[in-house]
Chain A
Amino acid sequence: MNAHVDSIDTPTFSIRERPSAPGSSTVLQLDGALDADAAPRLSDELERRLLAGQKQLRLDFEAVTFISSAGVGSLIASVGEFRDEGGEIVLEKLAPELRRVFELLDLLDYLTIA
């Protein structure tokens, strides 16, 4: 398995891997605004993990304060790429205002939301 970083920090957005039980899905804890600045970083990290063989990921949105269209695009593309490889990305702890963004775009059914 390729090496990967455990966390990426930017001034307004961070991605951290949360400890999980052996054999269970990796959980990435997102924190901050998933906007145009943060979206490429999330895409890069998800791609890196997919290439490393981590095909089952859970994204924890509890600390995410905002999602822009760039964040939506990053997630939608990554979800599709994981599915192409037989994997899945599960979104969890989506606040109502974040869920609203996907609702406006009729994308709730496309996503797997825990």
Chain B
Amino acid sequence: MMVLDRIHPLQARLTLRELPVEAPYGASTQEEVEVLLRSMGFYFDLETTSPPPTPSPHQDRVHIVQEWDRDGSTLRYQATVSHDPAAMQLLDPFAAAALSTYGPRSSPVLTDLRLAIYELCQNILEHGRTVRTHPTIRISLCFDRDSIGGAIEDDCAHFDPLGFPEQDIDEHAARRRRRGYGLTLVRRAVDRIDYTAIPQGNRIEFQKRIPR
């Protein structure tokens, strides 16, 4: 295979992991890597093959790994950030990935998904600090034909943000409240959301259906 002659798989993986947030996603080099991995049926496990990212005082980095199911029907993206990020910076690569798969960035599905991820990450960054100064957040997204599924894991103390009842937004507005809208927004932005306490922290899974 011609591509194999030019790029070694290990080199390809490094390219993916070292992609800075600021780099335009879908750059020619990365596309080439994607084609390579897809053509090989390449499958790897981030947890066992990727070292934790090194925090930089000057530049937030997101480490992105993409993997395809062996049948090529499902595309997964996974990102890990290990120091205090602007959670927004995590989202554009995901939005860009979804853009290439499902259409315009401004579609309601992507808007809702982006909101949900941002709010969940922000919640961890705000409330996880009390236990760990720099929580590690791991985000996974899985795209298939009918839905976009996601999981967000952290290594903070067990805390179920979904254990609280949905807020009365009208009352919030009437009382001029500036906070307390986030989890309501998350609940309404996705079609399904579940919380699980895991040994190392917390896991929230969500799913957004793609309208046909």
Contact = CB atoms under 8 A, between A and B. Distances in A.
Given A35-B88, A37-B86, A80-B173, A104 B106 contact: no
B40 to A, nearest CB: 36
Given A68-B119, A70-B179, A76 B88 contact: no
A76 B173 contact: yes
Contact of A69 (B88, B173, B182): B182
Given A68-B122, A97-B111, A104 B188 contact: yes
A100 interface: yes
B108 interface: yes
Contacts of A96: 106, 111
Interface of A: 12, 33, 35-37, 39, 43, 66, 68-70, 72-74, 76-77, 80-81, 95-97, 100-101, 104-107, 110
Given A80-B176, A106-B169, A107-B169, A72 B181 contact: yes
Contacts of B181: 69-70, 72-73, 76, 105
B176 A81 contact: yes
Nearest to A111: B173
Contact of B185 (A12, A66, A95, A104): A104
A95 B189 CA distance: 17
B188 A101 contact: no
Given A105-B169, A105-B184, A105-B188, A35 B176 contact: no
B172 A76 contact: yes
A33 B91 CA distance: 12
A110 B176 CA distance: 12
B159 interface: no
Given A35-B122, A69-B185, A104-B115, 19 more contacts: A12-B86, A35-B118, A37-B86, A68-B118, A68-B119, A70-B182, A72-B185, A76-B178, A77-B176, A80-B173, A80-B174, A97-B106, A97-B111, A100-B108, A100-B112, A104-B185, A104-B189, A105-B185, A106-B169
Closest 4 CB pairs of A and B: A69-B182, A73-B178, A69-B181, A97-B111
Contact of B178 (A37, A66, A77, A107): A77
